[in-house]
Amino acid sequence: EGLVGQSARSNRVLYFNDRSRFRVNTTTNLSAILPAAYLVLPLVYNHKVEGIMEMTLMKTLDEQDFALIRRLGFQLGASLNSLHNEDVTQKLYQAMQQKTEELTAQDEEMRQNLEEMQATQEELKRTKEEVERKKEQFEMLAGNLQGAMFQMNLNPQTGDRRTTYLSPQIEQLLGYST
């Protein structure tokens, strides 16, 4: 708004050295001074206004001072742009670090899940093999059960068991004899 907004919008230096056109008093701790000139300087970098500097001057500017102040505006604009870019870069870097940490945690979680799945697969494989072995044993026993007999005596005092007779089919199925 006002002269500052006008300078920012137009990207132009506003300079007034006619005291009758402005009524700005500069107040310090010691006194109030009516300045000799008033300057609004856009701080520009790559044709973009990065900021505005407003100055009240105790003396009017000559062409050499004016050129120096304009260069100062460009340098300050470049510095402001650099600070802004540094801030953006820092925020992007922090966001990247956070994403990296999240991805590392997800990677670890996926690795643990994979290990659990592999352990479960191995357990299922062992269980399947055991079931297959038991099925084969059952089928062999069921197919040879006819005519299979054995006799076992139990000692009631000691609880010992003693096999006294095995038919040839049982001997063949189980692989041992009395």
Phi-psi region of 162 (alpha: psi -120 to 50; beta: other; left: phi over 0): beta
pLDDT at 159: 81
pLDDT at 36: 84
First to last CA, the chain: 113
The amino acid at residue 149 is M
Other CB atoms within 10 A of residue 42 CB: 24
Supply the DSSP symbol for 13. -
Residues 20-42: tens digit of each pLDDT? 666 667 777 777 777 888 889 99
| More confident site: 98 or 139 | 98
How far CA 117 is from CA of 109, 111, 165, 174, in Å, comes to 12, 10, 49, 38
Q: State the Cα–Cα distance between residues 72 and 58, nearest whole angstrom.
A: 18
CB atoms under 10 Å from CB of 38, counted, come to 21
